[in-house]
Amino acid sequence: MPDEEYENGFIATSRAAKDLADAGVKVNLGAHGQLQGLGAHWELWMLQQGGMTTHEALRAATLNGAEYLGMGKEIGSLEAGKLADLIVLDANPLDNIKNSEHVKYTMVNGRLYDAATLAEIGNYEKQPGKFWWENSKTASAFDWHEGTNTRIEGIAGEHCTCSH
């Protein structure tokens, strides 16, 4: 991408998020599912590139969103009595924001998983099942998939994916 486009798009957006935060707006991290959740890391790093401190960016990724949803007393930070889906990192993101990608463990609903293997560890030892792409046929674990034709044949041989 040309530097000008980078500065006028990505960096300008990052700086605007910082300006909003400085004005008292609670900026929240928001990302889509790009490549196994990588978008959340990119957005976190972007917030810092726009001028937020590492702590401000991490807060935007955690407590700000919980408070926005009205659930700041239940989730969003590690405190006694709060629910906690969390990640454990191998490196401190306060030292370098890009350390957010060094995930060692993930805890969901009180169950701990090894991030590298997705094996459940701790209270319940359980190896993960196969992903759909590891099966011998495309999604053969779902018998309904093999007979599904998602392409609709239209009138006079036209192909259509909508209803008329």
pLDDT digits (tens, 9 = 90+) for 4-29: 887 888 889 999 999 999 999 999 99
Quote the CA–CA distance of 67 and 52 in Å, as a whole number: 19
Distance from C-alpha of 20 to C-alpha of 59, rounded to nearest angstrom: 14
pLDDT in tens, 42-71: 899 999 999 999 999 999 999 999 999 999
Domain boundaries, the chain: 1-76
Classified as helix, coil or strand, 136 is coil
Q: What is the pTM of this model?
A: 0.71
Consecutive H or E run containing 150: none
Quick one: pLDDT band at residue 3, thresholds 50, 70, 90?
confident
